[in-house]
């Protein structure tokens, strides 16, 4: 008997070519590096109002590095695209099981999050001891833009466990210690929970008990995400790209179209950041829309037989992407440690001279390299750990392909 198809062929998720995969790897790696560069500028360079001499290069540097959380939205759209595609394929094959799905997602997150939290504990303790009582670690922002509060509410057991439970910045606990970027992981986790629950509600085979559980998970996720549902809408936009009809547009050659879309995400996000009083929110929306266009171009344009093989930058992009999650969650405590222990006076903050900007880029490259080393013990081990856990826990046996 032929297996019933649960997803109509015309709605089946797009399958990336190798070149499309390389391009999205490059986008993910670039977003992670830009977040790091943003924090390098935030914690080491003088704020814009105290720059003594502006050049065209320094203005560009400050404009690009002014965006921080906006670049995280690129991760949200990419995550929606990949998770939506994976869930769709499993539904089509009749292989969507909550236990397997949750094991996959939990392994992906915890194999990086737990080491990052331990690293934060160590660096914050050593750094605060070395930096003294009036430093970034103690809430003093007299010489930098973003002080960190290491009071008990931010570093205690409750905060640590709350971050492990993905409740940080969701009305209950703060991000742990100096690791401010952990805010996005909480959003990401509850996106992971809400979306397949929504899918389960739409499947005819889901029983009454399953529908009650799925409905409860959706309501709980939306309750936690209240006030920030725009981020979930942005994540779902990534899902929508995966199911967009695969009708390649013929406006311009594939490479030119992809590059044009990449320009849109940069220009829209950067310019939107400075539009009116609501510039930040406008910038978030525009950079999300730009990312949607980029992913659409890369995923739907690079599908023809004439585009087989890897992109010219493919191997490097893939390598950087495999450590991008690690880079994202370990860079902040490292940078705070360096800033708090080496810069003690406001006057010591770096002016954006050519030499200092080069030093900032070099420091970013060093942190990228360090994250690459750490990733060999974290996210690059995800598949192996997931496989090991699958044989040791209650996860169901997966059919052979």
Residue 348 DSSP one-character state: G
Helices (H), 137-246: 152-155, 157-164, 183-202, 208-224, 229-242
Residue 330: which of 48, 117, 83 has the closest Cα? Answer: 117
Residue 249 has pLDDT above 70, yes or no: no
**Two structure tokens written together for 271:** 């310019």
The position carrying tokens 């990419």 is: 78
Give per-residue pLDDT as tens, 99-145.
Answer: 888 889 999 999 999 999 999 999 999 998 888 777 777 765 545 55
CA 162 to CA 365: how far, in whole Å? 31
Least confident of 13-27, 71-85, 114-128, 204-218: 13-27
Give per-residue pLDDT as tens, 194-245.
Answer: 999 999 888 888 888 989 999 999 999 999 999 889 999 999 999 998 887 6
Is-contact 365 61, C-beta < 8 A?
no
Give per-residue pLDDT as tens, 142-153.
Answer: 455 555 767 666
Residue 188: which of 265, 114, 109 has the closest Cα? Answer: 109
Q: Is 395 exposed, middle or buried (0-12, 13-18, 19+ CB in 10 A)?
A: middle
3-state secondary structure of 350: strand
Confidence of residue 2 (pLDDT cuts 50, 70, 90): very low
State the DSSP H helix or E strand holding residue 377, giving kind and residue range, or none if neither.
none
Domain boundaries, the chain: 22-392
Q: Is the pTM of this model over 0.75?
A: yes
Residue 235: which of 75, 96, 107 has the closest Cα? Answer: 75
């Amino acid at each position: 008997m032929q297996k019933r198809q649960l997803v109509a062929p015309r709605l089946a998720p797009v399958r990336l070519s190798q070149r499309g995969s390389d391009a999205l790897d490059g986008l993910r790696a670039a977003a992670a590096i830009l977040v790091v560069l943003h924090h390098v500028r935030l914690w080491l360079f003088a704020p814009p109002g105290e720059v003594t001499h502006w050049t065209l290069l320094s203005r560009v540097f400050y404009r690009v590095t002014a965006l921080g959380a906006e670049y995280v939205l690129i991760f949200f759209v990419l995550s929606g695209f990949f998770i939506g595609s994976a869930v769709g394929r499993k539904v089509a094959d009749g292989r969507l099981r909550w236990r397997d799905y949750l094991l996959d997602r939990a392994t992906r997150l915890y194999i990086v999050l737990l080491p990052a939290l331990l690293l934060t504990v160590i660096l914050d303790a050593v750094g605060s001891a070395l930096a003294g009582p009036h430093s970034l670690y103690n809430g003093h922002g007299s010489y930098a833009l973003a002080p960190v509060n290491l009071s008990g509410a931010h570093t205690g057991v409750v905060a640590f466990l709350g971050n492990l439970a993905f409740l940080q910045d969701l009305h209950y606990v703060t991000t742990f210690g100096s690791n401010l970027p952990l805010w996005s992981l909480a959003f990401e986790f509850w996106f992971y929970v809400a979306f397949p629950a929504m899918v389960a509600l739409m499947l005819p085979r889901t029983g009454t008990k399953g529908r009650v559980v799925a409905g409860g998970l959706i309501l709980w996720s939306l309750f936690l995400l209240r006030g920030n549902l725009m981020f979930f809408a942005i994540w779902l936009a990534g899902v929508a790209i995966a199911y967009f009809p695969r009708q390649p547009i013929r406006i311009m050659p594939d490479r030119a179209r992809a590059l044009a879309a990449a320009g849109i995400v940069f220009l829209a996000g950067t310019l939107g950041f400075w539009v009116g009083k609501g510039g930040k929110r406008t910038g978030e929306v525009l950079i999300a829309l730009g990312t949607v266009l980029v992913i659409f171009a890369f995923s739907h344009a690079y599908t023809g037989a004439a585009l087989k093989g890897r992109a010219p930058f493919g191997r490097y992009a893939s390598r950087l992407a495999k450590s991008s999650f690690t880079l994202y969650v370990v860079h902040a405590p490292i940078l705070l440690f360096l800033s708090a222990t080496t810069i003690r006076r406001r006057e010591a903050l770096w002016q954006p001279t050519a030499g200092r900007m080069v030093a900032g880029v070099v420091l970013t490259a060093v942190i990228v390299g360090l994250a690459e080393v750490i990733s060999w013990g974290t996210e690059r081990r995800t598949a192996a750990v997931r496989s090991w856990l699958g044989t040791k826990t209650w996860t169901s046996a997966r059919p052979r392909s």
